[in-house]
Amino acid sequence: MDCKSFINVKNVKIGIGRPKICVPLTGHTLQDLENQAKAAKDSEADIIELRIDYFIRENGKEKVLDVIGKIRKITQNIPLIFTFRTKEEGGECKISLEDYEQLNCAVAEHNMADIIDVEYNLGEELVQRLCKTLKLKRINVIASKHNFSMTESEQELAESMNKMAFLGADIVKVAMMPMDKFDVIRLMKVTLIMQEKLSVPIIAMSMGKLGAISRLCGEFFGSSVTFATVGDASAPGQMKSEKVLESLELIHRQFEV
């Protein structure tokens, strides 16, 4: 799978070759996060995501930069995604728009992440402003959209991907909940089409048990990253990283033939 443009983050080429495996850290305490980070580093993870909303729910925002610094000492050369997932998009706690923007800008200002996830549903104005601010700090931006109740129509999915790229995202991400197998196929179809149209990598997944296949065959339909676990899952349908890697490598070898 090669998209029109790829993102090179610490020598991990997102958008070329097999989908990269991203392992989320979901600890509620610093000790939990450090243990998860060590396990993720020892796994075959290509990328690590720090889901800071889990930590903030229990501890507040004051120690976030200190926590990220400690995690980065563990993850070292593995690309780190910083994500505060809002309650509305499946996260652990609520946050005001002002605090959300300030938090992400502070992480960028202190060069604490390689990639920052920005939620598209928070508003186009905010997304565009954050894309501009973060990229000035040489931080890559994922613009993401999640729907835990349904899979949106082909037109809605395509329009969202187009808009996220237009607003300045380096990577666009959509995660949808399927009601049936046709929802899974529709998401994969739209991603395949949009991969040919957009000049940025796409991350697309269908959640839950029905959507599990989408986490394994991204090289076939154009999804550049898949999320897998070495501990607790951060979204429905995530599988163990070592099993995911086996499947991805098996499929990738067929593409090389």
Give the integer Cα–Cα distance in Å for 222 and 205: 10
Which is the catalytic residue, given 10, 87, 135, 173?
173
**CA distance from start to end of the chain:** 13
Helix (H) or strand (E) holding 128: helix 124-136
Beta strands, E only, 129-234:
140-147, 171-176, 202-206, 225-229
Q: Which residue has the tokens 């949808």?
A: 176
Q: How far apart are CA 159 and CA 174, in angstroms?
A: 11
Per the CB < 8 A criterion, the answer to whether 171 and 14 are in contact is yes
Choose the catalytic residue: 146, 181, 197, 240. Answer: 146
Check if 145 is active-site: no
Fill in the DSSP letter of residue 19: P
Specify whether 13 is catalytic: no
- Catalytic residues, by residue number, are 146, 173
